[in-house]
């Protein structure tokens, strides 16, 4: 079977510079250049810049013969240097580029050959046609095809903007145009955002389903009904895993996302209840707090009610939690995570920890922990047990955020929906859930009313037609 392009992930990549003479920590290199042998030394960065020149789990795109596909690898390296703490985001891009290179090989096309006068015969346009064919045949989702095309465009943009790459195509890889998009900012004012679009863009068909019971809040989230919530809590108690149960309770009672729940710090829950000045406890999250937020949202507070704090306090001071901290390198430090595995590892590595490890010279050769254990617990233990009572039921941890929002709305708005109360509830919930745009908060406040009207309309809209058909 013929060899094909592939991805190879290096545990560690350290950038070095060439040296004509040996020096501290230099490594001798000998390569064949034609009939000659060339010898030189590679010298690593020895100052503080070395922190930003070392990357863990770095993906390489390899040609079919095992050699590096240089344009792709150099672009990935450029992206790693731009965001050294986000190297985990490179693997999907590398996979997209591998797919493109494999297609080029199958079609016997040169990635740099844009000599065709007809633009639709150039590699980028031909690849777009190929992706559209895969969408139509059902072999590829439109969102995946769109992402792959964007990765290819990103590669060529890098090559065009970097003189050292010496890439000067005879004809343009695409045609560009400026596109304006109107949106409302968090104050409700209409703003215009201009972006540059290409004629290679693959449109994704996004149609809303009338009976979709989800809420768009950083993704499609479905609030759990009260019976589902009750079944979930019973199931968590039956399974008896303290950490996972508490993680669920935090999300249900605060609306926190998974990265915030799993990076809560032990020190925030050591005070006895009587020592807390006011309830609910306002716990600062975001940059500077060591508790992660989505998109690094700063100066936001998690509102923790007293009953939840008491549960977390009891757990933080328990022998079970102490034993786990004893296995952790942070020990009894208040900066340690509240939730640790039975091996003393974090369920989710915070950005603050990754940054600290980078500065201390500690290098990670395994993938960053981002809550995989929690997701496996839900899919392998919680959902199967709940299905015995609720066949076909499933949920994502993020759905608990939407559940919190709807529980809050149902409680606050139960006495009516007069305009003054609506505006107050909208602003309070926006703050509680850290929404940047009030329109996102509106999805929660309007959810019950929309579903009620939809059900009423569904029941009545064709009633007269059914009656006429039955009488005919």
- Over residues 36-58, the pLDDT tens digits come to 888 888 877 655 555 567 777 88
- Strand ranges across the sheet with 16-19: 16-19, 36-44, 27-33
Long-range contacts of 221-225 (CB under 8 A, 24+ apart): 221/396, 221/398, 221/399, 221/401, 221/402, 222/395, 222/399, 222/402, 223/399, 223/402, 223/403, 223/405, 223/406, 223/407, 223/447, 224/395, 224/399, 224/400, 224/403
Reply yes or no on whether the pLDDT at 183 is more than 60: no
DSSP-derived letter for residue 219 is S
pLDDT at 427: 75
Tokens found for residue 156: 């060529």
When pLDDT is cut at 50, 70 and 90, the band that residue 454 belongs to is low
pLDDT at 359: 57
Reply yes or no on whether the pLDDT at 191 is more than 80: no
Q: How far are the Cα atoms of 15, 223, 445 from residue 434, in angstroms, in the given order?
A: 39, 18, 15
Reply yes or no on whether the pLDDT at 396 is more than 70: yes
pLDDT in tens, 289-313: 889 888 788 888 899 999 999 999 9
pLDDT in tens, 336-361: 999 999 999 999 988 877 766 665 55
pLDDT at 259: 92
Reply yes or no on whether the pLDDT at 151 is more than 80: yes
Between 64 and 412, residue with greater pLDDT: 64
What is the average per-residue pLDDT within 447-458?
A: 58
pTM confidence score: 0.70
Cα 178 to the chain's mean position, in Å?
28
pLDDT at 408: 81
- Which has the minimum average pLDDT: 73-87, 111-125, 424-438? 424-438
CA–CA separation, 330 vs 333, rounded Å?
6
Give the percent of the chain with pLDDT over 70.
80
When pLDDT is cut at 50, 70 and 90, the band that residue 195 belongs to is confident
Reply yes or no on whether the pLDDT at 268 is more than 70: yes
Reply yes or no on whether the pLDDT at 205 is more than 80: no
Reply yes or no on whether the pLDDT at 389 is more than 50: yes
pLDDT at 22: 79
CA–CA separation, 167 vs 158, rounded Å?
10
DSSP characters over 98-154:
HHHHHHHHHHT--TT----SSGGGSHHHHHHHHHHHHHHHTSS-HHHHHHHHHHHHH
CA–CA separation, 298 vs 287, rounded Å?
6
Reply yes or no on whether the pLDDT at 392 is more than 90: yes
Reply yes or no on whether the pLDDT at 415 is more than 60: no
Reply yes or no on whether the pLDDT at 194 is more than 90: no
Mean pLDDT score of the chain: 83
CA–CA separation, 59 vs 185, rounded Å?
38
Q: Where are the alpha helices (DSSP H) in 299-348?
A: 306-316, 319-326
Tokens found for residue 113: 């050959």
pLDDT in tens, 211-240: 556 666 666 778 888 999 999 999 999 999
Determine contact, residues 323/278, Cβ cutoff 8 Å.
no
When pLDDT is cut at 50, 70 and 90, the band that residue 287 belongs to is confident
pLDDT at 452: 54
When pLDDT is cut at 50, 70 and 90, the band that residue 365 belongs to is very low
What is the average per-residue pLDDT within 188-208?
A: 72
CA dihedral 110, 114, 117, 123 (to 10 degrees): 60
């Amino acid at each position: 079977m013929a060899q094909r392009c592939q991805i190879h992930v290096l545990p560690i990549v350290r950038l070095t510079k060439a040296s004509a003479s040996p020096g501290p920590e230099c490594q001798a290199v000998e390569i064949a250049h034609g009939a000659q042998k060339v010898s030189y030394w590679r010298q690593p960065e020895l100052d503080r810049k070395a922190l930003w020149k070392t990357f863990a789990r770095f993906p390489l795109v390899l040609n079919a013969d095992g050699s590096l596909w240089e344009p792709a690898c150099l672009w990935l390296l450029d992206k790693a240097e731009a965001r050294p703490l986000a190297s985990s985001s490179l693997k999907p891009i590398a996979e997209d580029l591998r797919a493109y290179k494999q297609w080029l090989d199958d079609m016997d096309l040169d990635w740099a050959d844009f000599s065709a006068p007809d633009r639709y015969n150039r590699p980028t346009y031909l690849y777009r046609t190929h992706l559209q064919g895969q969408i139509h045949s059902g072999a590829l989702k439109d969102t995946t095809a769109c992402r792959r095309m964007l990765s290819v465009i990103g590669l060529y943009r890098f090559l065009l903007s970097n003189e050292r790459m010496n890439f000067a195509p005879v004809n343009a890889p695409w045609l560009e145009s400026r596109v304006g998009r109107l949106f409302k900012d968090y104050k409700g004012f209409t703003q215009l955002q201009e972006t540059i679009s290409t004629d290679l863009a693959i449109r994704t068909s996004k149609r809303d389903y009338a009976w979709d019971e989800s809420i768009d809040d950083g993704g499609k989230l479905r609030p759990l009904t009260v019976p589902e919530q009750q079944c979930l809590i019973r199931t968590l108690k039956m399974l008896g895993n303290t950490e996972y149960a508490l993680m669920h309770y935090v999300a249900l009672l605060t609306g926190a996302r998974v990265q915030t729940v799993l990076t809560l710090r032990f020190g925030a829950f050591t005070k006895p209840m009587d020592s807390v000045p006011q309830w609910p406890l306002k716990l600062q999250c975001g940059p500077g707090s060591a508790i992660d937020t989505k998109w690094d949202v700063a100066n936001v507070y998690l509102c923790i009610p007293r009953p939840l704090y008491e549960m977390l306090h009891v757990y933080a001071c328990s022998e079970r939690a102490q034993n786990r901290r004893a296995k952790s390198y942070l020990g009894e430090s208040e900066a340690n995570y509240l939730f640790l595995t039975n091996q003393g590892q974090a369920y989710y590595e915070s950005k603050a920890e990754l940054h600290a490890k980078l500065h201390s010279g500690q290098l990670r050769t395994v993938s960053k922990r981002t809550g995989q254990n929690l997701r496996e617990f839900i899919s392998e233990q919680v959902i199967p047990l709940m299905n015995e009572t609720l066949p076909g039921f499933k949920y994502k941890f993020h759905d608990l955020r939407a559940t919190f929002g709807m529980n809050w709305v149902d409680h606050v708005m139960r006495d009516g929906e007069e305009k003054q109360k609506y505006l107050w509830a909208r602003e309070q919930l926006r703050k509680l859930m850290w929404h940047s745009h009030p329109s996102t908060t509106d999805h929660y406040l309007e959810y019950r009313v929309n579903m009620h009207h939809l059900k009423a309309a569904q029941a009545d809209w064709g009633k007269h037609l059914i009656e006429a058909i039955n009488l005919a």
